[in-house]
Structure formats: C-alpha cells, structure tokens
DNA sequence: TTTT
DNA sequence: TTTT
C-alpha cells in the first residue's frame, strides 16, 4: 500500500549550507538543523535537549537555500526520511538517515535582511500547482527554476 | 512572513464524491470526510466523537477521486484550510471553511478492489518533483494528467 | 475506526488573545491567527494570500497564551479542527469551525521579551492526555498549576 | 528557542513488536515500520520505493503495541526523531536514528480482530505529558494502568 | 453521512 | 554546530 513518510521541523541552522553544483544543472545543498526542546525535569529544573538533523535540498530549493540561508537561520521544513545504506571498510552494513526537504520557509526574516539583496518577505517553498490541486489561478509550475523573489 | 497552513486527516468518506466538470478541462470533486476519535470519559465509558470535513479536490486528483473513491473509502489526506466568504440573503457576512486537498492516499485498498477496474495497489497522490526537490530520478512533472495506474 | 484530525499552522496573531475565565478554574483564550502564503501568478507578479484562523486554547495553555502572546506574536500551532453547530434566528443550520489548540510554540521570541516578565526561553506547549484527543468538556488538567517557566 | 521535531508515518509493520520489560515497570517496544511510495518514472513504469523506520514505543503505548500490533499491522504514527550516538569498537563515532512514538492509531483493524481478544474499535494512542516533549528517562506514566479499552 |  |  502507498504510505506516508513526513517530517516537520522548525529550528536553526548550525552552519552555512554546503552546496554542490553537479552535472546537468543539478544542485544539492546539505544543511545541519538543530531542533531544541526545553522542559522541566521532575525537580523543576529546566532542561534543554537539542537534536541535530541532516537535511538534503535539491535543485531549485537548493539554489534558494544557497542564496538566502546561513548559519543561524531559522526555518520551517517539510520533508521525508530517507536512508542511505552502504558497507564500510570493515564490511559492516551502515545506514545514514537524511531528511529530504520538500519545501522550507524562512521564519526569521531578520536573517534574510542582513547583508544581502534578500527580500523583506521571507520565502516559502511552494507546493506546485500540480499537487496542490490548485484550482485558483493556474500557476505556472516551473518554480524550481523560478526563484520566488 | 510566509506561513504554514497544513491539515492532515485520516478518515472515511460519508458519501460518494460529487464531481463537477468545469470549462477548460478543470474538474472539482467535493468530498465529505469523517474523522472519528474515541476516548474514555471520566467514568470510564467509551465515547465516540466524529468531525465532518468538507474537502475540495481539483483537476488530476479530482479525476482520481472520481474514479477510485466512494462512500466508505478510507483515505489519508494532506491539505490546507481555505475559507470562502460571502453575504447571505439577510446581508450577514458568512464564511465557510473547506479543506483544499493537496494530495491523498487510499488507505483501505479493499474499497479499491470492489466492483471496479481499480488496481490492487492503492493510490498515493504524489508530490511533484518540483516541490519534493527530488534529485533521485527526474520524474516528469505532469502527474496531474498522468493517472498513476 | 479511530481517525486523525490534525492541523499545523505557523503565523502571526492579528490581535491580542481574548481570554475568559470560567467557573471551576477553567480558562479559554480565543486567538486570531493569520497564515500568509505568497506565490507568483502566471504573469510573474507576486501574490499574497492570507487565511485567518479562529483558535481556541484551554486552561493551562490559555493562561500561557494570556501571559505571553499578543498582537503580532508569531506562533507555531498544533491542533485539530472542531466545528460548532447551531441554529440561527432564521432557523438556519449554522456551523463554525475553530482550531482547538493542542500545543503551541512561540517562534518569535522578540515579542516575548518586550514589556513583560517573559522568559528568555520561549515556551513550547506540551501535549497532555487531557487536551489531546479529547472531548470538549471535562478537562481537569493540572497544567494550570504547572506553568513551564 | 523551542523548536519542532515531528514525524508522521503511515505504513505496515515488518515484524511483530519486540518488547522488553525493564525494571521499575518500564516497557519499551521496538517496531520496524515500512512506508512505501509508488510513482511512475520517466518511462512510465511504476516504481516502488520502501523506507524502513525504527520505532521506539514506551510504557503504556508499548503495552498496547505488544497486545494489539503484529507483523503486517497498518498503523498511523506520530513521533519525533531521536538519535543515539556512541563509539563502536574501532573508535568511530556512530549515530543511529529512531522514531520515538508519541502516539499511534491502528488503521487496519482487520489485524486487530484476528486471533486475539482485541476490541472491535481500534485504538488511538493519546499523547501524554509524559511521553510528549519529553526527555528520555524518568517517564512515570500512568498509561500502563489505563488501557483505553 | 463514514468506519469498527 | 544553532537559537533564546
């Protein structure tokens, strides 16, 4: 059966995006994202717990990430879990999990405004008119090549 | 700022889809979806609570809904909240909320198998390669016209 | 069958919370939340579309909302769709949809820091068995006595 | 700042739950969940891609999983990403990611009905203040005594 | 008006 | 390695 594999994150980048431009116009950006939760333990002390996520962004979104995101940027991310498996030098099976980003939104527009030609409005990675079933307006569907600013 | 407006539902259709074919190849399907939660009240009695949702599906997804969904179908839905506002005959401002479906997945393939040429595999409304940032394989992006079966 | 009814929003409050303290230590806060999406239309013009959501927050979370949220606050919200139905004066069946908030997170802590004793850490509302998957009435949460700061 | 770390999955168990009863009334169940997506490649061939997820369920939910889930069960899951890190024998830093389950819903109740005393109503796991937004240790949930049936 |  |  068809299933669902969805990840929703809101956090800050621990480093600038690492971007590789591949052959055939393909681009991939790797991001490190921290999501921090705070809670009180049973003694009433505040505890902070941070999880680090490896994000992978492709093509049009990667170009946007390269241009507008940097260390510290706060983003909302939608994606899916994707594992890579391989054998290491000792012949052990290894597995690494990444979040394949389907879209992201810059939440903290202060970052977008500093030292760049970025817009005052932050960016929302948009769903395409194809899968939004968007009957409103017939948006063109080439957002991948069509930076939103 | 760019925001997020996302709805995730899992439930059953209360009726067959109502489909209208509009000019210019546009299609809209309206669905009634029930999501039922059960819990125990403070007396330990099981209580069942059903919420009914008005869903709106467009174009390619609407055609799939028309073909494969019917009363009782169990589906997983992703969409967004969308309100229509108007004035009624008394001049009162009125507002109606619908869920604009962005994709859906048939969960209960039993329905798909009964009395139809439906596939044994249920359908997953797929994100487009544009917004999945899909670097895997370069899927063509015309799913809207490209029924998945 | 048990279903799923989940809403995820990220946006800004259009007004200060409206809070009512009810009998029996119950508190309800009503919030107006705007989620804005921007996209380019077929002519390449940026279009901005805002959806307004009516949120309902109860008890412990309502007290936190009262204390820390105000007009303009940016929050991430998790909740469920909940409809109220009634008959109006003309005898018409009426229905109003609200988002019952299950937890929220302050995203823009700049708001929290202005003119209040708010913490330097923003708050993440936590789910509880009481306010999650819950019937309307009869919440007897202890969140009220357990503010997270 | 407080962040968001949320995972939503819908899929089938690849094996029966592995349950360990720990000291102090604690229980943990490990589940293997497959989420399958299907799409057409550029040649129009249907491609099926399955991702396997390691789920970790604690205490009350673990007991429910033990009792009602088995190989093949279809479930909807809500949880968060959680990584364990350690050094292997070669002194390499290793990391393993699991999904900490916050609640789950049995979607295909046919499984629940076969060869067991399972209820005709399927179960929706409810969030609790204990297992939500929670640190690892020190759960002292009372879910164990409060099975929802 | 669904489902179990 | 982020953020407040």
- From first to last of its 149 residues, chain B has per-residue pLDDT tens of 689 999 999 999 999 999 999 999 999 999 999 999 998 888 999 999 999 999 999 999 999 999 999 999 999 999 999 999 999 888 888 899 999 999 999 997 654 444 333 333 334 333 332 322 233 322 233 333 344 43
Domain annotation covers residue A1? no
CA/C1' separation C74–E4 (Å) = 40
Q: How many CB atoms lie within 10 A of CB C135?
A: 15
Q: Please give the protein residue whose CA is closest to the C1' of the nucleotide E3.
A: C1
Decide the pairing of beta strands B4-13 and B27-40: antiparallel
Q: What is the tens place of the pLDDT at every residue in C2-28?
A: 899 999 999 999 999 999 999 999 999
- The pLDDT assigned to D138 comes to 28
Q: Which of D51, D134, D128, D59 has the alpha carbon at shortest distance from D97? A: D51
Of the candidates A8, A41, A90, the beta carbon closest to that of D4 is on A8
Q: Cα B113 vs. chain centroid, distance in angstroms?
A: 19
Report whether C113 contacts C73 (CB < 8 A).
no
Three-state DSSP at C69 gives coil
Residue of D nearest to C9 (CA): D4
The residues pairing with D86 across neighbouring beta strands, listed in sequence order, are D94
Within 8 A of D47 by CB-CB distance, chain B residues are 137
* Euclidean distance between CA atoms B36 and B49, whole angstroms: 6
* Euclidean distance between CA atoms D76 and D105, whole angstroms: 5
CA/C1' separation A59–E3 (Å) = 42
- The total number of structural domains in chain D stands at 1
pLDDT band, very low/low/confident/very high, at D128 (cuts 50, 70, 90): very low
Q: Which residue has the tokens 């009481």?
A: C130
A7 touches chain C (CB under 8 A): no
Domain annotation covers residue D54? yes
CA/C1' separation B76–F1 (Å) = 37
pLDDT band, very low/low/confident/very high, at C1 (cuts 50, 70, 90): low
SS (H, E, C) B36-90: EEEEECCCCCEEEEEEEEEEEEEHHHHHHHHHHCCCCCEEEEEEEEEEEEEECCC
* Euclidean distance between CA atoms B97 and A93, whole angstroms: 50
pLDDT of A60 above 60: yes
Judge: D37–B8 Cβ closer than 8 Å, yes or no: no
Q: Which of D137, B38, A111 has the alpha carbon at shortest distance from C2? A: B38
Instruction: Tell me the pTM.
Output: 0.81
More confident residue, D78 or B91: D78
Judge: A138–C108 Cβ closer than 8 Å, yes or no: no
CA/C1' separation A1–E2 (Å) = 21
Q: What's the domain range around D126?
A: 7-145
* Euclidean distance between CA atoms C74 and A90, whole angstroms: 49
pLDDT of D139 above 60: no
Judge: D7–A81 Cβ closer than 8 Å, yes or no: yes
Structure tokens at D123: 């179960």
**Strand ranges for D2-137 from DSSP E:** 4-13, 18-21, 27-40, 46-58, 74-87, 93-106
Judge: A6–D3 Cβ closer than 8 Å, yes or no: no
Domain annotation covers residue B57? yes
Domain annotation covers residue C1? no
Judge: C39–A74 Cβ closer than 8 Å, yes or no: no
Domain annotation covers residue D2? no
D111 touches chain A (CB under 8 A): no
CA distance D12 to chain A (A): 8
Report whether A11 contacts A53 (CB < 8 A).
yes
Judge: B10–D38 Cβ closer than 8 Å, yes or no: no
Q: What is the rounded average pLDDT of the residues C82-94?
A: 88
Give the up-direction half-sphere exposure of residue D32: CA atoms within 13 A in the CB hemisphere: 9
Domain annotation covers residue B2? no
Domain annotation covers residue C112? yes
Backbone angles phi, psi at D136, to 5 degrees: -65, -55
Ramachandran sector of residue B131 (left: φ over 0; alpha: ψ -120 to 50; beta: rest): alpha
Helix (H) or strand (E) holding A68: helix A59-68
Q: Which nucleotides of F are covered by protein (CB under 7 A)?
A: 1-4
CA/C1' separation A82–E2 (Å) = 34
Closest nt by CA–C1' to A36: F3
Mean pLDDT of chain A: 79
Q: Which residue has the tokens 């929050």?
A: C75
CA distance C101 to chain D (A): 14
- The pLDDT assigned to B27 comes to 97
Radius of gyration of chain B (CA): 18
Q: Please give the protein residue whose CA is closest to the C1' of the nucleotide E1.
A: B14
- The pLDDT assigned to A19 comes to 98
Q: Which of D82, D9, D28, D105 has the alpha carbon at shortest distance from A51? A: D82
Distances (CA, A) of B38 to C99, D78, D143: 19, 17, 16
Q: What is the rounded average pLDDT of the residues C39-53?
A: 94
Within 8 A of D126 by CB-CB distance, chain C residues are 129, 132-133
Domain annotation covers residue A104? yes
Q: Cα C65 vs. chain centroid, distance in angstroms?
A: 8
* Euclidean distance between CA atoms B23 and A78, whole angstroms: 34
Q: Which residue has the tokens 């290894």?
A: A94
Q: How many CB atoms lie within 10 A of CB B122?
A: 25
Q: What is the rounded average pLDDT of the residues D56-85?
A: 96
CA distance B33 to chain D (A): 15
Decide the pairing of beta strands D93-106 and D46-58: parallel
* Euclidean distance between CA atoms A13 and A32, whole angstroms: 6
- The pLDDT assigned to C2 comes to 85
Decide the pairing of beta strands C74-87 and C93-106: antiparallel
User: What's the CATH code of the domain at A51?
Assistant: 2.40.50.140
Of the candidates D40, D76, D108, the beta carbon closest to that of B148 is on D40
Report whether D103 contacts D125 (CB < 8 A).
yes
Percent of chain C with pLDDT over 70: 72
Judge: C127–D102 Cβ closer than 8 Å, yes or no: yes
- The pLDDT assigned to D130 comes to 33
* Euclidean distance between CA atoms C55 and C61, whole angstroms: 12
* Euclidean distance between CA atoms A78 and A103, whole angstroms: 5
């Amino acid at each position: 059966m068809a299933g669902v594999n969805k990840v929703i994150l809101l956090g800050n980048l621990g480093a600038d995006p690492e971007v590789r431009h591949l052959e055939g116009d393909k681009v991939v950006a790797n991001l490190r994202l921290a999501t921090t939760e705070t809670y009180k333990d049973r003694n009433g002390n505040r505890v902070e717990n941070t999880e680090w996520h490896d994000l992978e962004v492709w093509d049009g979104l990667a170009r946007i990430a390269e241009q507008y995101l940097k260390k510290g940027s706060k983003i909302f991310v939608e994606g899916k879990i994707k594992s890579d498996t391989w054998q290491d030098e000792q012949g052990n099976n290894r597995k690494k999990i990444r979040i394949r980003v389907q879209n992201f939104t810059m939440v903290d527009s202060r970052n977008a405004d500093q030292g760049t030609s970025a817009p005052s409005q932050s960016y929302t990675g948009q769903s395409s008119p194809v899968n939004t079933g968007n009957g409103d307006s017939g948006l063109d569907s080439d957002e991948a090549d069509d930076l939103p600013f």
